[in-house]
Amino acid sequence: MTELVGRSVARVDGRAKVTGAAIYAADQPVPDALHGVLVMSTVARGEVLRIDASAALAHPGVVAVLTHRDLPKLVVPHFPYVKRFIPMQGTAVHHVGQPVAIVLATTLEQAQEGAALVSVDYRAEKPSVVIDDAREPAFLPQPFRDRPNEIRRGDAASALREAPVRLEARYSSATRHHNPIEPHTTTARWDGDRVTLFESAQGVLVTRTVVATAFGLPPESVRVVAPYLGGGFGAKGPGWPHTLLTAAAARVARRPVRLVLSRAQMYTSAGHRAEYRQHLRIGATREGRLTAIAETSTAQLTATEDSVFNRSDSTIGLYTCPNLHVRHEGVRLDVASSSYMRSPETTSHFGLETALDELSWQLSIDPLELRRRNHAEFNQETGERLTSKRLLECYAMAAERFGWARRQPRTGATKDGDEYVGWGMATETHTFAAMPSTASVTVGVDGKALAQLATQDIGTGTYTVVTQIVADALGLPLRDVQAQIGDSALPPAGLSAASATIPSISGSVDQAARAARDAVVALAVADRHSPLFGAAPAEIETRDGRLVHLRDRHRHDTYRAVVGRAGEPVRRTATVLNQGGHTYGVVFLEARVHARFGSVRVTRVVTAHDLGRVMNRRTARGQVLGGVTWGIGHALMEHTVFDRNTGRVVNPNLSTYLVPVNADAPPEVETLFVDKPDPASTAMGARGFGETPITGVPAAIGNAIYHATGRRLRDLPITQDKLL
């Protein structure tokens, strides 16, 4: 019996968020906390020679200025802490914006002023900060997270030589920053050898592991609390130095310390999408069937680590192609570590989906038809049949709604006023993960249920979906169910990253709730005071908070009465494992290019996705709306600019690093879903979804611009100047 799961249920955390009552990490009142502000390196490569804190210390309210000399020695944590060093443990400087001191003061203003008064002398060397300036040639890094950076299938070189049709192109994209609206923040409070962190974290448990490792503490000595998060997009998934440094400073100062990164500091503190180059060679038959793909990408790495975050998963497996050779290469640069940023696979997917568009023009085959011809029914690496992939249905639904059949197969064919109008499409796909998750559900003596698990809601709707699942399983109204998440003290569960939340937690929450229901039913039928006494549990239906005998509906009881009589809450816990996989979809869109100004507007968008069962239509649609607009930012505006001489970020703010504003978003986005449960998913038939919508958007925009103007742009973002 399903009533709420799948429906467009309004967010249960809505009231807290529209009244300002939701407590985010920096809102948490912590008495006696000092304010901490980081002093960041202004050179990209070299060494700290001298730190003069006298002026800062003379400033009223400044309590301490801590440097590498003051902090305890910390252990560098393993993944997900991606930076392979901790700043302020020595004098070496590896990038601009590396913390070199932390100022503690009574008020925020005093700490900020104090930080500005710290003067630091450096020995500086000339840095290389962009791929063009790399000191060494690109190399193939070691496998990252057990996945190799070179993938071969068949014989791509020979197949390319023999291919009747060939395409070769180079694609590239600039560095991007996540820029969640809520800045990263940590408040650390020690109590002996135990520490509590109010943290802007996408995963309370991974943050706990990172902090415990760094301080050599058992995990239970660290508690991480993050009930609400003001956006993460990957930036708040891994652990970062500011968290460790705040905890260390609080330990030294013996007072709680609160630290909030400034917007500018966020450009060197918490990862980014790395600068990226891609060289693609494709071989095909005259009918457009792919016979070979050879791809070498080059990513920005750093002097201290060589993790490739933007893998070419779609090149490797989205389409049928017998011969493949992919290399993820990189160059070491003097910049801060990159990391995962919403839909990391978008980075390479732009090249693949643009190349397919180019091939379609070369062969005069409709781009949608070209993709259909190369549709993969089998996993390209294992050969297994992909039983629940419904990409072809997505193509059909969205093409029909968009009116793709009316597309003019010529460039520059449509002009409306001052604007050229073009249509573009691209397949969307992303990998999702599933992480072991335990959930507990408690029915209290008041008949209300509480679900508890240490997962997160980063805006994606976890609170709401958990509440829906529990309400359905128990037969309780939504208002009688509460979800408690975002605290490492709760049952261990996966974090909100890698599109993993729903596929990781849904099965566990459902099973725990069903077990709790069955336990209450068992109590009722064994209770002489219950009208249901002696009934067979299978004959009891639960609905609206009531337990009703199916054949004799006069016999009924309530959760509140049954558990109330028992006198103690009923709690059940469950762990249901699931597997990761891929989620698919498609985006069709219309773009308009101003004939004289080169400005681009995305005016109409239709998407269709297959995410297995849709748990909540409105939160799923929210992910698509967000993804489409992120795709517009990625394609048309976002780029972080480095000064090549100093290594400094030139635009570390929101007025020169442009993100889409309301007027940039397409007025209309139609979001279609196949909505059929995936039988292979133990998460009630749902698959991971958050990162799929966006992946095709940048290529679809570039393809629409080509259709509109006949100009093929392969370097992102496609800023206005490139279209003049």
Partner 1 sequence: MAESTGAARPTRRTVLKTAAVTAGGAALAPRTAVAAGAGEVAAGPGETAVVTLSVNGKRRAVEVEPRVTLLDALRERLGLTGTKKGCDRGECGACTVLVDGERVKSCLTLAVMRQGSEITTIEGLAQGERLHPVQEAFIRHDAFQCGGCTSGQIMSAVACIDEGHAGSDQEIREWMSGNLCRCACYQNIVAAVADAAKGARS
| C-alpha span between 228 and 17 (Å, rounded) | 9
Q: Which is nearer to ligand FES, 247 or 458 (CB)?
A: 458
Residue 3: CA atoms inside 13 Å, Cβ hemisphere, count?
Answer: 13
Among partner 1, ligand FES, none, the one that 330 touches (CB under a kind-dependent 5 to 8 A) is: none
| C-alpha span between 435 and 441 (Å, rounded) | 19
Among ligand FES, partner 1, none, the one that 441 touches (CB under a kind-dependent 5 to 8 A) is: none
Q: What's the closest the beta carbon of residue 263 comes to ligand FES, in angstroms?
A: 8
Q: What's the closest the beta carbon of residue 465 comes to ligand FES, in angstroms?
A: 17
Which position among 275, 345, 353, 691 bears the catalytic label? Answer: 691
Q: What's the closest the beta carbon of residue 666 comes to partner 1, in angstroms?
A: 8
Q: Which is nearer to partner 1, 160 or 195 (CB)?
A: 195
Report the 10 Å Cβ neighbour count for 622.
Answer: 17
Among partner 1, ligand FES, none, the one that 641 touches (CB under a kind-dependent 5 to 8 A) is: none
Residues 320, 208: contact at Cβ < 8 Å?
Answer: no
Q: What's the closest the beta carbon of residue 180 comes to ligand FES, in angstroms?
A: 7
Q: What's the closest the beta carbon of residue 182 comes to ligand FES, in angstroms?
A: 8
Compute the 3-state secondary structure of the chain and give helix, strand, coil in percent, each to the nearest 5: 30, 25, 45
Q: Which is nearer to partner 1, 282 or 591 (CB)?
A: 591
Rg (CA), the chain: 27
- H helices, E strands: number in the chain: 16, 28
Q: Which is nearer to ligand FES, 233 or 642 (CB)?
A: 233
Q: Which is nearer to ligand FES, 495 or 520 (CB)?
A: 495
Peptide bond into 72 cis (omega under 30): no
HEC string of 300-347?
A: EEECCCCCCCCCCHHHHHCECCCEEEEEEEEEEECCCCCCCCCCCCHH
In sequence order, the 6+-apart residues with CB closer than 8 A to the CB of 267 are 97, 177, 640, 649, 652, 657
Residues 470, 483: contact at Cβ < 8 Å?
Answer: yes
Q: What tokens appear for 647 in the block? A: 């290594």
Q: What's the closest the beta carbon of residue 17 comes to ligand FES, in angstroms?
A: 8
Among ligand FES, partner 1, none, the one that 228 touches (CB under a kind-dependent 5 to 8 A) is: partner 1
Angle between helices 617-632 and 697-709 (to 10 degrees): 50
Residues 576, 682: contact at Cβ < 8 Å?
Answer: yes
| C-alpha span between 329 and 630 (Å, rounded) | 26
Residues 682, 137: contact at Cβ < 8 Å?
Answer: no
Among ligand FES, partner 1, none, the one that 698 touches (CB under a kind-dependent 5 to 8 A) is: none
Angle between helices 697-709 and 346-363 (to 10 degrees): 30
Among partner 1, ligand FES, none, the one that 260 touches (CB under a kind-dependent 5 to 8 A) is: partner 1
Q: What's the closest the beta carbon of residue 657 comes to partner 1, in angstroms?
A: 10
Among ligand FES, partner 1, none, the one that 107 touches (CB under a kind-dependent 5 to 8 A) is: partner 1
Active site residue 691: yes
Residues 333, 95: contact at Cβ < 8 Å?
Answer: no
Interacting residues with ligand FES (CB under 6 A): 181, 231, 459
Residues 435, 575: contact at Cβ < 8 Å?
Answer: no
Q: Which is nearer to ligand FES, 22 or 167 (CB)?
A: 22
Q: Which residue is nearest to ligand FES (CB)?
A: 181
Q: Which is nearer to ligand FES, 181 or 489 (CB)?
A: 181
Residue type, 697: V
Q: What's the closest the beta carbon of residue 22 comes to partner 1, in angstroms?
A: 6
| C-alpha span between 356 and 294 (Å, rounded) | 14
Q: What's the closest the beta carbon of residue 654 comes to ligand FES, in angstroms?
A: 7
Residue position matching structure tokens 């259909």: 372
Among ligand FES, partner 1, none, the one that 21 touches (CB under a kind-dependent 5 to 8 A) is: partner 1
Q: What tokens appear for 414 in the block? A: 């449509």
In sequence order, the 6+-apart residues with CB closer than 8 A to the CB of 317 are 376, 379, 380, 381, 582
Angle between helices 204-215 and 241-253 (to 10 degrees): 50
Q: Which is nearer to partner 1, 260 or 292 (CB)?
A: 260
| C-alpha span between 467 and 462 (Å, rounded) | 8
Among ligand FES, partner 1, none, the one that 157 touches (CB under a kind-dependent 5 to 8 A) is: none
Q: What's the closest the beta carbon of residue 231 comes to ligand FES, in angstroms?
A: 5
| C-alpha span between 692 and 480 (Å, rounded) | 33
Among partner 1, ligand FES, none, the one that 30 touches (CB under a kind-dependent 5 to 8 A) is: none
Q: Which is nearer to ligand FES, 364 or 655 (CB)?
A: 655
Q: Which is nearer to partner 1, 543 or 618 (CB)?
A: 618
Residues with a catalytic annotation lie at 691
